[in-house]
C-alpha cells in the first residue's frame, strides 16, 4: 500500500492557523516528508497565512527541492507558511480586512478556491476553531457536490481540546516557559521584598501553567545552589500557582505568602493569563470600559493584562516593595518543537497521510475516550475549552509541596474573589 499511488490523493493542501505553537513548522515538515517518501506523485500546496491565503488564492507549491529539505523545518519555530486569525463565518471581519468583496460569502469564496485548486484533502494544523472551521467547509463543499476530506492536527499550547490527551507543541511550550523563568527569577535579587509574577499562556485552561511550574521545579532540583550565600531553593522556587480552574482566597493566600516574603525576601508566582479574567471583564464592563475581542469573540488578553491586574491587587496585601510581571508566552510558543513533541508530530503526520489515502476525515490525536490511542477522531467530538484536571496526582503533589493547598476544588463561576 505504501507505493500504491492509485489510492493516494492527487493533490493536497496544507494550512496553519490561529496562534503560534511549537509544532507548526515541524508538522508542515513532517507532512511534506511523509508524502514525499510514500506518495511522491501527490501534489502539495501550502496556503499562505492560513484561511487568509485560502480566501485570496495565495499558496506555495511544494517543489522537489522543498521536499528534499523539508526535515529542516523540525529545527525551527513559528510557521513557515504563516498564520492568521480568520473566521470564515465572520463576514463583517473578512470584508473589513479585504479578504472578500461586498456581497460575497467567505465560505463560498474559500470553497470555490479549493475546487479551482483541485484539492482533494486539506490538512489543517490548528486549534479547535481551525479544525472545526475546515470540517464545516468540507460539509459545505459536499452539499455542492465536491468531495474533499479534512484531516486536522491539534495545535494549542493550552492543551485544552476535547477529547485529545496531548496537543502538539504543549510539551515544548512548558519546557521553554521553565527555561525562561530560570533567567527571570534572578531578578529577585534586584530589590528587597520582591514579588515576581510569571504570566503563562492559558485562556481557559491551566494545564500549561501547571506543566511549566512542574518543568521549572524539576530543572531547579538539578541545579547547583549555594544556600549559605543566598542562592537557595527557597528563594528560587515557585511559591504559588494560580489557574482558571482554582478559586483563590486572596486574604488567606496573602497571609501565607507574606510569611514567605518576610522570611526569604521574595515571592515567585506562576499565573495563567486567563486566571481571573471573568472577574476583570465584569469589573471593566461595570465601569463602562470597552473590552476588546478578536474575530472569534475571544477577549483580547493583552488588553486585559491579567498578570498586572492581579499583581497590583495582590502586592499591597503582602507588602511587596517592588513587583515584576513577566510573560513567557511569545518566547515559549515560538520555539522549535522539542524531541518529545517531534516524535508525536511524526507519528501524527504518518497517520494523517494514511487517513488521507483512505479518505477519512477527523483530527489526529490521542483519544482520551479510547485509552489514549492515536487515531483519527471524529469532528463532532472535537471542541475546545477543556479544563485542566487539577485532581492529577502530580499536580496535587506540587501544590502540597509548595504549601499552597492539599485539596483544591474546581471553580464554578470565577477564579479569583476580589473584594469590592
Cell of 192: 528587597
Tally of CB atoms within 10 A around 187? 15
Beta-ladder partners of 198: 270, 326
Given a cut of 50, the residues of the chain with pLDDT beneath it are: 1-2, 406, 408-420
Which H or E run includes 44? strand 43-47
| Known catalytic membership, residue 158 | yes
Give the CA radius of gyration of the chain: 23
Q: Positive or negative CA dihedral for 295, 301, 302, 304?
A: positive
What's the grid cell of residue 237?
Answer: 522556587
Please report the pLDDT score of residue 74 as a whole number.
Answer: 98
How far apart CA 79 and CA 73 sit, in angstroms, is 9
Please tell me which residue in 93, 158, 204, 237 is annotated as part of the active site: 158
- How far apart CA 162 and CA 246 sit, in angstroms, is 20
Dist. CA 40–CA 67, nearest whole Å? 9
The pLDDT score that the predictor gives to residue 3 is: 52
Long-range contacts of 62-66, Cβ-Cβ distance < 8 Å, separation of 24 or more = 62/32, 66/32
Helix or strand run (H / E) with residue 405:
none
Phi, psi of 177 (to 5 degrees): -65, -40
| The pLDDT value given to residue 418 | 30
Confidence (pLDDT) at 312: 82
pLDDT at 183: 98
Write down the pTM of the prediction: 0.90
> Could you give the CA distance from residue 327 to residue 200 in angstroms, rounded to a whole number?
6
The rounded distance, in Å, linking the Cα atoms of 367 and 365 is 6
What is the strand order of the sheet 121-126 is part of?
59-61, 43-47, 11-16, 121-126, 149-154, 362-367, 373-377
Instruction: Note the pLDDT tens digit of each residue in 204-220.
Output: 899 999 999 999 999 99
Cα(166)–Cα(162) distance, integer angstroms: 10
| Nearest residue to 157 (alpha-carbon basis) of 179, 127, 187 | 127
Give the cell for residue 167. Answer: 496537543
* Residues contacting residue 243 through CB under 8 Å, at least 6 positions apart: 202, 206, 209, 210, 271, 272, 275, 388, 390, 415
Strand (E) or helix (H) holding 16: strand 11-16
* pLDDT given for residue 317 in this prediction: 92
Predicted confidence at residue 414, as pLDDT, reads 33
> Can you list the alpha helix ranges (DSSP code H) found in 273-402?
277-286, 301-304, 306-318, 329-333, 339-358, 393-402
Amino acid at each position: 500500500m505504501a507505493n500504491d499511488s492509485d489510492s493516494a490523493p492527487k493533490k493536497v493542501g496544507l494550512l496553519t492557523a490561529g496562534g503560534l505553537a511549537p509544532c507548526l513548522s515541524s508538522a508542515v515538515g513532517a507532512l511534506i516528508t511523509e508524502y514525499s517518501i510514500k506518495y511522491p506523485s501527490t501534489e502539495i500546496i501550502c496556503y499562505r497565512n492560513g484561511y487568509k491565503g485560502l480566501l485570496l488564492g495565495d499558496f506555495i507549491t511544494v517543489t522537489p527541492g522543498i521536499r528534499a529539505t523539508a526535515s529542516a523545518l523540525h529545527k525551527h519555530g513559528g510557521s513557515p507558511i504563516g498564520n492568521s486569525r480568520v473566521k470564515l463565518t465572520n463576514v463583517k471581519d473578512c470584508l473589513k480586512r479585504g479578504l472578500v468583496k461586498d456581497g460575497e460569502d467567505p465560505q463560498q469564496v474559500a470553497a470555490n478556491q479549493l475546487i479551482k485548486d483541485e484539492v482533494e484533502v486539506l490538512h489543517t494544523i490548528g486549534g479547535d476553531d481551525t479544525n472545526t472551521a475546515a470540517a464545516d467547509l468540507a460539509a459545505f463543499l459536499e452539499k455542492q457536490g465536491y468531495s474533499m476530506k479534512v484531516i486536522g492536527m491539534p495545535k494549542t499550547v493550552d492543551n485544552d481540546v476535547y477529547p485529545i490527551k496531548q496537543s502538539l507543541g504543549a510539551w515544548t511550550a512548558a519546557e521553554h516557559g521553565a527555561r525562561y523563568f530560570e533567567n527571570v527569577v534572578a531578578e529577585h535579587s534586584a530589590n528587597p521584598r520582591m514579588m515576581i509574577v510569571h504570566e503563562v499562556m492559558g485562556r481557559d485552561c491551566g494545564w500549561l501553567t501547571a506543566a511549566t511550574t512542574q518543568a521549572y521545579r524539576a530543572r531547579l532540583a538539578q541545579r547547583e545552589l549555594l544556600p549559605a550565600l543566598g542562592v537557595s531553593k527557597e528563594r528560587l522556587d515557585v511559591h504559588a500557582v494560580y489557574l482558571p480552574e482554582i478559586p483563590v482566597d486572596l486574604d488567606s493566600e496573602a497571609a501565607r505568602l507574606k510569611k514567605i516574603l518576610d522570611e526569604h525576601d521574595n515571592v515567585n508566582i506562576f499565573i495563567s493569563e486567563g486566571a481571573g479574567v471573568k472577574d476583570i471583564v465584569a469589573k471593566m464592563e461595570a465601569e463602562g470600559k470597552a473590552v476588546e475581542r478578536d474575530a472569534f469573540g475571544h477577549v483580547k488578553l493583552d488588553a486585559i493584562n491579567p498578570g498586572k491586574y492581579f499583581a497590583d491587587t495582590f502586592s499591597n496585601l503582602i507588602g511587596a516593595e517592588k513587583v515584576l510581571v513577566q510573560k513567557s508566552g511569545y518566547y515559549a510558543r515560538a520555539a522549535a518543537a522539542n524531541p518529545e513533541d517531534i516524535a508525536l508530530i511524526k507519528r501524527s503526520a504518518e497517520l494523517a497521510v494514511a487517513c488521507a489515502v483512505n479518505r477519512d476525515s477527523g483530527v489526529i490525536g490521542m483519544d482520551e475516550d479510547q485509552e489514549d490511542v492515536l487515531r483519527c477522531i471524529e469532528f463532532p467530538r472535537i471542541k475546545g475549552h477543556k479544563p485542566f484536571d487539577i485532581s492529577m496526582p502530580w499536580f496535587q503533589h506540587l501544590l502540597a509541596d509548595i504549601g499552597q493547598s492539599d485539596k483544591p476544588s474546581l471553580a464554578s463561576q470565577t477564579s479569583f474573589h476580589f473584594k469590592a
